Amino acid sequence: MDVQVAVEARDVRKRFGSVTALDGLTLTVSRGEIYGLLGPNGSGKTTFIRTLAGLLRPDGGDVHIFGALPRAAVSSGAVGYMTQAAALYGELSVDENLRFFAALEGVTDVGAHVEDALRRVDLLDRRRSTVSTLSSGMRTRVSLAATLLHQPRLLLLDEPTVGVDPALRREFWEHFRSLAASGVTILVSSHVMDEASRCDRLGLIRAGRLLAEGTARELVARAGTSDLESAFLALSAAPA
C-alpha cells in the first residue's frame, strides 16, 4: 500500500437501470491535497462521492481509502462526508446540533470535539444561536463542523459552495485550505470552474469517466486555451 495515497479508484463502474453513472472512473488522490472533481451536472460526481462514503457499492472496479475498503475506512472514522443537502435541525442551537451528530457518530469527549470543530469553522461565538436564525453560509459552516467532529483524515465535500455568494465562497476556501494544511485530504466536487483554480489538482469528469487530470495550469496548457472553462470544453470534445 502506498502511504502517500488517500483515495485510489480503479475502473469504477455504476449503473442505475439504463443510466451509466460511472463508466470506468480511475483516479488517485494524494494525502494532504485538495482534489477538485469537476464536471457538469449528471457527470457522476455525487455517485462517485457516495461510493467513497461507503453508501453505494460499485458494480465493478475497486476503491480504496487509505488502503482500506470504503466501509472499513468510514467505520474507522477516517472519512467525513458533507452531503449536498445538509440536514440540520433548525429549531436547535448550533451546539445542540453538533452534540446530536457527535452522539450519532459515537464521538467520545463530545464537548472538546464540538469546540474544536466550531473553532475550525470560526463559529465558536455562535454556538448558542438557533440554527434557523443563521445565514445560509453559517449553516453550511455548521454542516462542515458536523463532518469534522470525528476528526476525519479524508473530507468529501459535494458541491459545498452551491448557493453561496462569492465572498462567503472565498471564506470557505480559506477554511478548506487551513484544513488541508493541518493534514486533512479533501476531495471536493464542483461544476463551477472559478473554484477549480483553488484546488491542488483537478480531475475533469464527464459521463462517468475521467477526461483529464492535472493542475488548472497544466490542463489549460494541454488544451491550448486561455481559461479552464474553455479547456474543459476542448478536452470534452477531444476523442477519448
Ligand X SMILES: Nc1ncnc2c1ncn2[C@@H]1O[C@H](COP(=O)(O)OP(=O)(O)O)[C@@H](O)[C@H]1O
Query: Which residues bind to Mg ion, rule: CB under 5 A?
Result: 45-46
Using CA atoms, how far apart are residues 240 and 236, in angstroms rounded to an integer? 8
Question: Which among 38-46, 65-73, 85-93, 120-128 is the span making contact with ligand X, rule CB under 6 A?
Answer: 38-46
Q: Is 46 one of the binding residues for ligand X (CB under 6 A)? A: yes
Q: Is 140 one of the binding residues for ligand X (CB under 6 A)? A: no
Of the candidate residues 47, 51, 140, 147, the single one contacting ligand X (CB under 6 A): 47
Size of site (CB under 6 A) for ligand X = 11
Contacts of residue 202, defined as CB under 8 A and 6 or more positions apart, other chains included, come to: 35, 36, 37, 38, 196, 213, 214, 215, 216, 219
Closest listed residue to residue 7, CA positions, set 218, 220, 228, 203? 203
E-assigned strand segments in the chain: 5-16, 19-30, 34-38, 60-65, 79-82, 154-158, 185-190, 201-206, 209-214
Q: Please say which residue, 209 or 222, places its beta carbon nearer to Mg ion.
A: 209
Secondary structure of residue 98 in the 3-state scheme: helix
N-term to C-term CA, the chain: 29
Of the candidate residues 2, 4, 11, 16, the single one contacting ligand X (CB under 6 A): 16
Question: Which among 43-51, 69-77, 93-101, 210-218 is the span making contact with ligand X, rule CB under 6 A?
Answer: 43-51
The residue sitting closest to Mg ion, measured at its beta carbon, is 46
Q: Please say which residue, 131 or 202, places its beta carbon nearer to ligand X.
A: 202
Question: Which among 16-24, 122-130, 141-149, 170-178 is the span making contact with ligand X, rule CB under 6 A?
Answer: 16-24
Q: Which residues bind ligand X (CB under 6 A)?
A: 16, 19, 21, 39, 41-47
